[in-house]
Amino acid sequence: MHQKLILFLSLLSVSVSAQHDSLHWLPELNVQTRRFDYSEASMQTQHLDTSILSQLSGTTLADRLNRESALFVKSYGSGSLATLSLRGTGAGHTALLWNGIALNSPMLGLYDFNLLPVFLLEDVKVQAGGNGPVVGSGAIGGAVFLDDVPDFRKKIKLRLFNTYGSFNQLQNGLAVELADENIYSQSKFYRQSARNDFYFDRTDGTLRKQTHAQTEQLGFTQNLSYGSVSNHIDLHFWYLQNEREIPALMIAESSLQTQNDKSLRLVANWSVLKNKWFWNLRCGGNQEEIVYVDPAARLDEFSRALSLQSEAEMGYMFSKHLRLMTQIAWYEAQANAENYFGQVHQQQISIGAKIIFERKKWYVNAAMRQGFFDGSTIPFLPAMNLRYEITPALSFRGDVSRVYRVPTLNDRFWIPGGNPNLRPENGYSSSLGIEWNKTIRTTKLQANAGYFYGRLKDALVWIPGANGIFTARNIHELENKGLEMGGSIGFQYGDWKIQPSIKSNIVSSTIIKSDVSFSTALGKQLIYTPELQHLFQCGISFKQFEFRYHHNYTGYRYTTIDHAYFLEPYSIAELHLAWTCPLKTSSLTLSAGIKNLYDEKYQTIAWRAMPGRSYHCGLLFTFGK
């Protein structure tokens, strides 16, 4: 297995370029990437804040997304499993990509966002809609892109990072960056631990301390780039190890369950630009190991999954208004687990092309893909995106695409219940939106509103059979629709900068067709899918001081398909402060914050305890030359 991974990493692949916005309102840059993804100007996309305070106040990517994006993070508690729901879709319907390589588990189809430390991440982008990654499987609700962007400006930079918080939470990090014209290197080391021994209220009104909830995480990343703008090679390496105890439900007395995760990721990219031609090659691999132990159930389960991905693309620029891109991609996943008959695997191949037209007020992208899954043909996948500038301040966007998701290895091969004859989930995703941006002297105004609609046929679900054994079947047809709205005001007066913003989502996600076993669920909101979410944020900075306030409201979530039981809405607020002291070629930043400011008692998942008010403080020393 390791030999096969090394063999594929001997190939080369495509380079990534990206540009993110800064909450310090630096001048905007328009940097276009040549990577063959379907993330375009017409898609609804959010870049997460990259300021120092955002990194010091967030432990994992799940924390950041829950605080800064109007999407639903389904958390099983501090340090436990956390998955995403974009536009009312399931956890397996959001694709996660790191430097172009899919990270979703080939066994489960989803990813635990509590396993992604903020300190090890650079550019994070959330895209809503089904046009995201090249391989395409799983990007039905949207995609999250994690990219490491080289900076060839000559420099030596060192960052030392440390935070301490309630429940014995401790984070340490070290980052070293070196760059000299044609070479760039970035190394990061990270460690995190927490006891998560907070108190919570039981259903009988008594106060109880959370036990058996300790977590510990170690991580290391290395990024290397060599070459020039027209011809360069990038190498990315990521090792992550996570150990955690799994606490008992609020209605249970104790738990002895534990889970250990290890992952090793490698990506190589090669990009060449010559005259009007360019071509790119990328390959990479992701290996994950999980050890789950439950002494009470006499379980000691080990599983290992390996995914390999390789892509090649070529493009030609006919003029400054028109360009063509073609691409072929290959993806293979294999896994070993005690509930499989030996090693299992599946393979995907994708061939695609797209034409991009940009002229004056118009941006149009027409794309098509044809995929093959273990020798079978995946439905033809067309996509269309457009953006039209009505006035310099007002623009219209729209997109429509066909989407799909292949069954996971567990869906097909798990014993008992796996079904090797499952069909890929397939359907379409669409959205329309309007955006308004206006700058009046030192004030920036922004507002947007959009509507999305999608359908998914052959949706997969595990249902109990006559013998009580759950079996995977394609029986659902789902409908997702809703409204997305937001706005912000950015005001600068002297050394003062103030930026309040608000986002709201109204989501309807229902089963519109199924068999008789789900008759009580027809036309009803899917479980754990809130119909309403609001997010308010306000950032204030003055010279070296920075203040942030976040407030997130999540509406009702039903816990049973007949809506007999539900979880109450909740509002979570956070407050963060930072002060930066410049020291010639270095700087020192001190931070402090309060999470769950109003000590809200709530549950995201039924009977999973969530912490009340907590505190943290941090320190970041930066040496730059």
Q: Which residues pair with 509 in a beta bridge?
A: 480
The residue whose two tokens read 């990072």 is 161
CB 44 within 8 A of CB 129: yes
Query: Smallest Cα–Cα separation from 525: which of 464, 484, 478?
Result: 478
The mean pLDDT of 608-615, rounded to a whole number, is 95
Above 90 in pLDDT, residue 305?
A: yes
CB 254 within 8 A of CB 211: yes
- Residues 581, 592: Cα–Cα separation, whole Å: 15
CA distances to 119, 190, 191, 217 from 161, in Å: 9, 9, 10, 15
Amino acid at 66: N
User: How many residues are listed for the chain in this entry?
Assistant: 625
What pLDDT, on the 0 to 100 scale, is given for residue 414?
A: 96
For position 275, what pLDDT does the model report? 87
H/E run at residue 245:
strand 231-245
Report the pLDDT value the prediction gives residue 18, as an integer from 0 to 100: 33
Span of 69-83, 167-181, 280-294, 548-562 with lowest mean pLDDT: 69-83
Q: Is the pLDDT of residue 248 over 70?
A: yes
Checking if the pLDDT of 14 tops 50, the result is no
Model confidence at 8: pLDDT above 70: no
Q: For residue 132, what pLDDT is reported?
A: 53
**Closest Cα to residue 576, out of 597, 602, 560?**
597
**Cα–Cα distance, 293 to 256 (Å, whole number):** 8
Predicted confidence at residue 517, as pLDDT, reads: 85
Quote the CA–CA distance of 343 and 409 in Å, as a whole number.
10
Residue 208 clears pLDDT 60, i.e. is over it: yes
Structure token digits, residue 152: 């060839």
SS (H, E, C) 51-113: CHHHHHHCCEHHHHHHHHCCCEEEECCCCCCEEEECCCCCHHHEEEEECCEECCCCCCCCCCH
- Tokens representing 126 are 């959330």
Long-range contacts of 509-513 (CB under 8 A, 24+ apart): 509/87, 509/88, 509/89, 509/478, 509/479, 509/480, 510/478, 510/479, 511/476, 511/477, 511/478, 512/455, 512/477, 512/478, 512/479, 513/476, 513/477
What's the confidence (pLDDT) of residue 24? Answer: 37
The per-residue pLDDT for 565 is: 95
124 contacts 47 by C-beta, under 8 angstroms: yes
Average pLDDT over residues 539-554: 95
Distance of CA 571 to the CA centre of its chain: 22
Whether pLDDT at 13 is above 80: no
**Confidence band of 206 (pLDDT split at 50, 70, 90):** confident
116 Cβ contact list (under 8 Å, min separation 6): 60, 61, 62, 146
pLDDT at 228 over 90: no
Question: What confidence score (pLDDT) does residue 46 get?
Answer: 87
**Is the pLDDT at 40 greater than 90, yes or no?**
no
DSSP state of 617: E
Of 1-15, 520-534, 604-618, minimum mean pLDDT range: 1-15
The answer to whether 480 and 509 have CB atoms below 8 angstroms apart is: yes
Distance (Å, rounded) from C-alpha 2 to C-alpha 287? 9
DSSP string, 273-300: EETTEEEEEEEEEEEEEEEEEEGGGTEE
Q: What is the pLDDT of residue 65?
A: 92
Mean pLDDT value across residues 352-372:
91
Best CA proximity match to 308, nearest among 167, 135, 148 = 135
Are 517 and 463 in contact, with CB atoms under 8 Å apart? yes
Helix, strand, or coil here: 517? helix
**pLDDT-derived band at 426, boundaries 50, 70, 90:** very high
pLDDT band at residue 30, thresholds of 50, 70 and 90? very low
**Span 47-55, mean pLDDT?**
79
String of DSSP letters for 126-162? EEESS---SS-TTTTSEEEEEE-----SSEEEEEEEE
pLDDT at 1 over 50: no
- Give the tokens for residue 373: 């899954």
Q: What is the pLDDT of residues 465-477, one digit of tens each?
A: 778 899 999 999 9
DSSP for 446-486, please give it.
Answer: EEEEEEEEEEEEEEEEEEE-TTS-EEEEEEEEEEEEEEEEE
CA 314 vs. chain centroid, Å, equals: 28
Per-residue pLDDT, averaged over 444-460, amounts to 96
Supply the mean pLDDT for the chain.
Answer: 89
Mean per-residue pLDDT, 298-304: 95
Q: Does residue 416 have a cis peptide bond before it, meaning omega lies within 30 degrees of 0? A: yes
What is the pLDDT at residue 41?
58
Residue 41 DSSP symbol: T
Beta carbons within 10 angstroms of residue 403's beta carbon: 27
Q: Which helix H or strand E contains 5, and what residues bound it?
A: helix 2-8
Q: Is the dihedral of CA 297, 470, 529, 307 positive or negative?
A: positive
C-alpha–C-alpha distance, residues 157 and 350, integer Å? 40
Kindly state the average pLDDT of the residues 203-211.
88
Which residues touch 532 (CB under 8 Å, ≥6 apart)?
504, 505, 506, 507, 553, 554, 555, 556, 569
- The mean-pLDDT minimum among 29-33, 123-127, 480-484, 516-520 falls in 29-33
Looking at residue 57, its pLDDT comes to 77
Q: Which domains does the chain carry?
A: 2-624 (2.40.170.20)
Question: Using CA atoms, how far apart are residues 334 and 332, in angstroms rounded to an integer?
Answer: 7
The pLDDT of residue 135 is 53
Instruction: Give tens-digit pLDDT for 566-596.
Output: 999 999 999 999 999 999 889 999 999 999 9
Q: Which token pair is 609?
A: 């305890």
Of 81-95, 136-150, 388-402, 514-528, where does mean pLDDT reach its minimum?
A: 136-150
How many other CB atoms are there within 10 angstroms of residue 268's CB atom?
A: 24
Q: 3-class DSSP state for residue 516?
A: helix
pLDDT at 20 over 70: no
